[in-house]
Amino acid sequence: MLKKLISLILLATTLSVFTPIAAAQPAARPEVAEKVKAWYGTEGIKVWTLRYGPLSDKKALVQITDVDHPWNKKIQLMDVESKGERRKYSIMLEGKKYVVLVMERYSFGEVYLPGEPTAYAISYSEDLSSEGNAQHFLTDWLNQEEAREQAQPQTEAPAQPKTEA
């Protein structure tokens, strides 16, 4: 009996040594810009943006902070539409395109939050931008998305009816 147990342990150890290492490696991180850009605005609101994916995808991660709103500190993946010197950042909200952020010449703009009666004026801040770290920002978003996915209720397959034989 002891010989069989030792043989099983040796076999398990041998098999684990030859298990492909790639299976244990984390998934590749999405491409992002090297620098976070930040804006500061009325009532102390701050807006942080980071290009997400290749430039051709026209996507950005956007976080709005220091505002009394449900979106405070939430990082959202937004579509970016450029026309001349104007950029619009939008999401789908209740099945419709909702423009959250409008930038003019990359130096000033406005933030539109659902339920708020007026926009927040913002302007670019080099000092605030220098506080951002693109890889940390990406990690925060990936962790937020993972937590959101885990919090969603798992739907189970319906029980199969028993058939009589």
99-152 per-position pLDDT tens digit: 999 999 879 999 999 999 999 999 999 999 999 999 999 999 999 999 989 888
37-150, CATH topology level: Lipocalin (2.40.128)
Q: Where are the domains of the chain?
A: 37-150
> How many whole angstroms from its chain centre is CA 55?
17
Mean pLDDT value across the chain: 85
**Residue 120, CB-side half-sphere exposure with 13 Å CA sphere:** 25
Are the C-beta atoms of 47 and 60 separated by less than 8 Å?
Answer: no
CA–CA distance, 39 with 48 (Å, rounded to integer): 7
